[in-house]
Chains A and B, each alone.
Chain A
């Protein structure tokens, strides 16, 4: 992992632009004045205590949640309630969930081929090749014809990553991809994500894996109570946090 990020470059092109974004669940103000610009090629880790709105933030980016105020622009497409834009954005942005959310009634291969065939209208044969390519990339081509229920958690999460990649997204969102996994499986998933980063994928990762943040991220964002409290390069963030809440959070999470 250690030398992974040195040679990774970040372009000037803006991938995601969030300005003055606010979101409420009923009367509960979950996200407050979020401003965030993500350059293409950036690897951003979002950290923060439970309930701080990390998941909600990245779910707003691909419109799994709708925001009430502010602007989200993904790859130049403005996210509005207009369904057409939602579809464009969702096909550009891949997402991996904490609980994998594979489709249990389909084989691994079918899981990977479904969206390219039905959304991108890719021919069957080409979809199959793409799926096998990415399954090899996440190192489980031999499981292609099994069902998700027959795989270990780590394997399932790697399939979920491959499934997203089959849509050839330009941005990947990860919502605590390793927190439902046993320790020995966390590494295989993190390794897959490192490979992705090395290929230049723009990534936003919500995670408690601070090692990953240190090694792979170029920026760490700390959230609390629906706000971005602090963001910095990993070295500065971990070694020299400024805000009291950040210090408290880091001491809790790294303390033991």
Chain B
């Protein structure tokens, strides 16, 4: 028999990997030319990429930035020997002339600083929500931001947003005082009743009084002058910010043991998911007037925001329900056995995990919502697509297609891609090795 006993006397030292494994050459060899089919595939794909870029790049790099009409574009392209607009090259003059309009719609140009400022402030307001290295104190600004943004964009008397915000403060104090003096139920009732009384009864007389004493405000902008990406972002951000909390509540309601609550949530979710967004938008633009008291002037953009939010909430609820269902039952039991009540268990144990699991779905819903804002062009709002149609109706630019839609697509892509990257960053950050 062969002697198989063996005792190592010296440890093999670590050596660096051979070049074929480690270097760039190694990488190419391993990933692109490992065998014959792989090499052929690499060749075919490279050829396709070459063909596509070879056709697109000359079109993109076309010296038409300063042109003032499509006709001028055509002559510039003919001069340099390209075969006209279309295949020969893009006509970028339209973007130069109209990009501000694509951004702001018909917002007065001398007031562009107002939406720009509110967009910059949006970054400040979002920072503490998105990145936890940013100081928590800014969250206070995040809470006030919607009112600042409203006032910056629509303008008008400053007392209106201030007094609407006051309603929330009244609600808070109502809760504190009510629950101190007569138990938590009284607190909740006070927190709901007081601001409603304030908003619907006291707000307008107080407002007009304040306006006559201290008339503070800025030039009011009509809703139908809002448009372009400003409008898309307004609707998108509102929808995103509101659909997440509403979706969470709906998902929890759907899981609840209370049959009526559960039934209401299921009906809402299934109804909204069963109806196209366009239908809801038509309801917002026409039918909703029927239900509102006659003569009430309920802003169309606001109505659209509500509809888009409700629509996204229903999808959000289902995405989050998936996350909730993925949690093992043991997590609920452990929380219960430690004596955490329902809301604490949800907030501290269940939702952090369920939301983390649902991040890809949540962000997909956000991205879908943001892109769906283009549907508002159908009910006559001037979102980027609606504006593009408008611009193409101009004699000077009649016939332009790719440049406008390409530009709009590019901007949408930047926003959506950032959201997608952020969600991947978040997933990495929240990974705790299980």
Contacts and interface: CB of A to CB of B under 8 A. Distances in A.
A64 B334 CA distance: 10
Interface stretch (B58-66, B234-242, B426-434): B426-434
B434 A115 contact: no
Contacts of B333: 64, 97, 101
Given A101-B331, A148-B434, A118 B340 contact: yes
The winner among B334, B341, B356 for most chain A CB atoms within 10 A is B334
Contacts of A147: 432-434
**B contacts with A: majority SS:** helix
Interface residues of B, number: 21
Given A64-B336, A103-B349, A114-B348, A87 B341 contact: yes
A149 interface: yes
A95 interface: yes
Contact of B348 (A93, A94, A118): A118
B337 interface: yes
A97 B337 CA distance: 10
A119 interface: yes
A62 interface: yes
A105 interface: yes
Contacts of B182: none
A104 B330 contact: no
Interface residues of A, number: 26
A101 B328 CA distance: 9
Interface in A140-184: 147-150, 163-164, 167
Given A104-B432, A105-B432, A167 B339 contact: yes
A166 to B, nearest CB: 9
A101 B433 contact: no
Contacts of A103: 331, 334, 349, 353
A97 B433 contact: no
B433 A149 contact: yes
Nearest to A166: B338
B344 interface: yes
B343 to A, nearest CB: 10
Given A105-B356, A114-B348, A115-B339, 18 more contacts: A64-B333, A87-B339, A90-B337, A97-B334, A99-B328, A101-B328, A101-B330, A101-B331, A101-B334, A104-B353, A104-B434, A105-B353, A105-B430, A105-B432, A149-B433, A149-B434, A150-B433, A164-B337
Interface of B: 328, 330-331, 333-334, 336-341, 344, 348-349, 352-353, 356, 430, 432-434
23 contacts: A62-B337, A64-B337, A87-B339, A87-B341, A90-B336, A90-B339, A93-B337, A94-B337, A95-B337, A97-B334, A99-B328, A101-B330, A101-B334, A103-B331, A103-B334, A114-B349, A118-B340, A119-B339, A119-B340, A149-B432, A149-B434, A150-B433, A167-B339
